Amino acid sequence: MKKALIALGTIVIILIALIGGFVVAEQRAKVALEADVADYLDGCSITPDAIDVHGRPYLLYAAQHTADLSYVDLEPAKGTNKDQVLVHHLVDGHADRLTRFISVDYPSGQVSPVKNPDGSYTEAATIDGEEVTFSARADHVDDGTHLDVLANGRQHSSMTIPRTAEVRAVSAGDDGVIVEIEYAHPNCR
């Protein structure tokens, strides 16, 4: 009986050590993938506040030097409330796509986004009883892209973002006007 308990105890200890080792290795792999994404973004002149790498197990992706999808939070600029970059399929320092979502503050007033029948957002919102349609345009300048957000065709907000980018979509969400842009060249180096 005593030998059986010792054998069982040994097996339990080995299993705990293996599981603990896997958890530690998985966390280290995640940190390594986040560092890969940070290095890539540094070459893009983008400074991240936080990086969230998706795709598990991290060990498998880290062994392949691949970050499948990464959400990168940036410091919101004045007049914005959220700025997030999505790095799509980063492999050995090269990404398939680099997409950015900038959430611009609404004009002051009582705001209600106009939604499609399926519940998705449109480019319009009702502000103090008046429907306002939002749009955006990107103009290429020497130091990147000048982005203008328009409300009923009039300038609402403006900013310059590094690198050449194109506007992909505009929607009026719960927290602001969301502008989706895609960088023309996802490989920054």
* Predicted confidence pLDDT, tens digits, the chain (189 residues): 788 888 888 888 999 988 888 888 899 989 999 999 999 999 888 899 999 999 888 888 888 889 999 999 999 988 899 999 999 999 988 999 999 999 999 988 899 999 999 999 999 999 999 999 999 999 888 877 889 999 999 999 999 887 788 999 999 999 999 999 998 777 775
Count of the separate structural domains present in the chain? 1
Inside any domain, residue 189:
no
Integer Cα distance of 187 and 189 in angstroms: 6
Inside any domain, residue 188:
no
pTM, to two decimals: 0.84
Checking DSSP bridges between strand 80-91 and strand 94-104, what pairing results, if any?
antiparallel
Question: Which pLDDT score, from 0 to 100, does residue 142 have?
Answer: 81
Inside any domain, residue 145:
yes
Among residues 58, 96, 70, 68, the alpha carbon closest in space to that of 182 is found at: 96
Inside any domain, residue 101:
yes
Show the domain range for 70.
Answer: 2-183
